[in-house]
Amino acid sequence: MTEKTTTKKIPKCVKEGLITQKQWESLTKNQRKHFYRTWERAENIGIDYWEYIKMETGEKITQRLDQIDTRKYDDSFIETIRNGYVNKISTAKLAEKLNISDDILRGIATRYGIRREDYKVKFTRVEFNYPKQNWESVLNKNRKDKKRFYVYAYVSTNGTPYYIGKGQLDRAFQPHLRPNPKGKGKSNSTPRDPNRIRLLDCNLNEDQSFQLEEDLISILGTIELGTGCLLNFTSGGDGMRDPTPQTRKRISEAAKARGISQYIRDRYRETKFKRTCYLYQIPLEDYKKMKPSERKKCTRWMRYNSEKTYLDYLKLNSLTRKERLKIRSEIANRNSQIESAEKYGMTFEDYLTKSQTELSRMKGWVRYNADLGVNGNDYFAIERTHFYETEEGKNLQSNAAKIGAKKKQIEAAEKYGMSYEDYSTKSQAELSKMKLWVRRNPGQNGTDYFNKFK
């Protein structure tokens, strides 16, 4: 077998003699990146690389600005750059959005006086009088002592506090992990030099320490809100009181990434089952064996039949669908008979003893003599059962049916916003179409339908 020969790719800068191969190999990845970026900038403005690196920063910017024709960029373009700097969008992302190179973006921003420094939080020195330090008495406090709490500050090298906290015992010297502003992960904000950890007040109870912490944070302000010099994410006090919107977002993202453990899910499910079984008096073992659809069906039936028990549900559920429908229809028929008996002034027992023919004649007679205030008992009391077999009775029955039909038409005409005269002149087909149109067009009535479709 023949061995494969690997040839190293020679960079363009080595080919052009700007740098030797040995020098190129000695550079790190970031150094090579910086070398190419500087070389491209020199090429863009037409200056030799070795002359370019000898120039001062001000001269380089002046040379780059001379190559940019800023007249072709309108006010909206400049405003987009300014808004990007205000919202702290990186130069690379902003240049990609505007479809220009990073150097041109920096040159335009410099030409129009747009600087990132103008939109950064100013870390001005804060004059703060620190009391005499007495850490020994604080660190040796008893845990049962109510006045064991203190308020402390982390101080930068120029004496400005950048974090205010409350604690007990050695809390101030423990690590304070904060989200790393330069990338992912967390960084420790506790100073390495213990002299930069200052005790502000001690021998406080917990409420007093919370109050002092809140007061100091409100006075000094926070970097995240752009109101001051502190790294604190909240306004202090007990727990996560009044966190900033950025802190709320971080907490939410961390909780979503962490998820809920299976143990907590099982505990929550068990508690929910126990609560449901106690409410509807269902055995827990039976409820666990049910499918989700069966649980939903059972609880719904128990909710709408509060007077029934779980045994009644089991008895009903053991029947076939045909048997359940039969029971349901019998219950509906019985309820209808009870309502009819009450409507015509009769007891339910008397109502059941009458035949359908007798009940039909009784209802017609009551409707025909509605002005007299009679009821079903009056009809059967005077024994008018055989009266309908005569000619006069048959005419009376016919008239009663007409009166009932007219009454229904009057009610329907009022319901659909029409007069009885107009309603009675329409055919059944026209009325059916009108009712369907009214149901599909809320706010309209029968008169609107016939006016529209004449």
The pLDDT tens digits for 296-344 are 888 888 888 877 788 888 877 777 777 777 777 777 788 888 888 888 8
Residue 382 has pLDDT above 60, yes or no: yes
In the 8-state DSSP scheme, what is residue 90? -
The confidence score (pLDDT) of residue 3 equals 46
The confidence score (pLDDT) of residue 352 equals 84
pLDDT classification of 2: cutoffs 50, 70, 90? very low
Are 32 and 24 contacting, i.e. CB atoms less than 8 angstroms apart? yes
Residue 43 has pLDDT above 60, yes or no: yes
Indicate the SS3 state at residue 14. helix
* Overall average pLDDT of the 142-152 stretch: 83
User: Which of 50-54, 158-162, 166-170 is predicted most confidently?
Assistant: 166-170
Residue 63 has pLDDT above 80, yes or no: no
Residue 171 has pLDDT above 60, yes or no: yes
* Overall average pLDDT of the 167-193 stretch: 74
Distances (CA, A) of 141 to 147, 170, 190: 9, 10, 22
Residue 182 has pLDDT above 60, yes or no: no
The confidence score (pLDDT) of residue 388 equals 62
Tell me which residue of 193, 223, 232, 192 sits closest to 123, measured CA to CA.
223
Higher pLDDT, 62 or 150: 150
Identify the sign of the CA torsion 257, 92, 180, 228.
negative
Adjacent-strand bridge partners of 20: none
pTM tops 0.85, yes or no: no
pLDDT classification of 121: cutoffs 50, 70, 90? very low
The confidence score (pLDDT) of residue 237 equals 61
In the 8-state DSSP scheme, what is residue 31? H
Are 200 and 212 contacting, i.e. CB atoms less than 8 angstroms apart? yes
Identify the sign of the CA torsion 150, 151, 156, 157.
negative
Buried b (16+ CB within 10 A) or exposed e, 91-124: beebbeebebeebbbbbbbeeeebeeeeeeeeee
In whole numbers, what is the pLDDT of the chain averaged over residues?
A: 76
